[in-house]
């Protein structure tokens, strides 16, 4: 069954604006990871946040994790056209090693 669920399904923003997307999941996790897929390309790992972490930064990316609400958010600041892609959260549940993905959020950055 689907573990991660991204919201919104699609997001359109102007270049330079921030983009925020959320991920909710159902079971307890070891960690949560965000991936990006540009059109026609493979999944690229963006950031991993462990269950005992609350916030993590990587360049223009900021990820938060609230294990009490079983949710995470990904913020992309000062978006660029190259950020246009689908973004997936993947959870690593406790007692399971497999990554469980959601359906993704499609982000379009308009020039």
Partner 1 sequence: EAGVTQFPSHSVIEKGQTVTLRCDPISGHDNLYWYRRVMGKEIKFLLHFVKESKQDESGMPNNRFLAERTGGTYSTLKVQPAELEDSGVYFCASSQLFLGSGTEAFFGQGTRLTVV
In angstroms, the CA 46 to CA 70 distance is: 20
**Residue 100 engages partner 1 in binding (rule: CB under 8 A):** yes
Q: Which is nearer to partner 1, 5 or 15 (CB)?
A: 5
Let me know if 52 is exposed, middle or buried by CB neighbors in 10 A (0-12, 13-18, 19+): exposed
Q: Which stretch binds partner 1 (CB under 8 A): 13-21, 36-44, 54-62, 74-82?
A: 36-44
Residue 58 structure tokens: 């990587």
Q: Which is nearer to partner 1, 13 or 47 (CB)?
A: 47
Report the candidate in 61, 76, 73, 75 with the shortest Cα–Cα distance to residue 22: 73
**Residue 25 engages partner 1 in binding (rule: CB under 8 A):** no
Q: How far apart are the first and last CA of the chain?
A: 37
**Residue 59 engages partner 1 in binding (rule: CB under 8 A):** no
**Residue 98 engages partner 1 in binding (rule: CB under 8 A):** yes
Q: Which is nearer to partner 1, 21 or 90 (CB)?
A: 90
In angstroms, the CA 90 to CA 5 distance is: 9
The residue ranges that bind partner 1 (CB under 8 A) are 2, 4, 30-31, 33, 35, 40-45, 48, 50, 88, 90, 92, 97-104
């Amino acid at each position: 069954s689907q573990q991660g669920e991204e919201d919104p399904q699609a997001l359109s923003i102007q270049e330079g604006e921030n983009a925020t997307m959320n991920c909710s999941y159902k079971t307890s996790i070891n960690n949560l990871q965000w991936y990006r897929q540009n059109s026609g390309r493979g999944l690229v790992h963006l950031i991993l946040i462990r269950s005992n972490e609350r916030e993590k930064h990587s360049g223009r990316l900021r990820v938060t994790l609230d294990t009490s609400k079983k949710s995470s958010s990904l913020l992309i600041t000062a978006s660029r056209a190259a950020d246009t892609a689908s973004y997936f959260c993947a959870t690593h549940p406790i007692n399971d090693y497999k990554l469980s993905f959601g359906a993704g959020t499609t982000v379009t950055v308009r020039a």
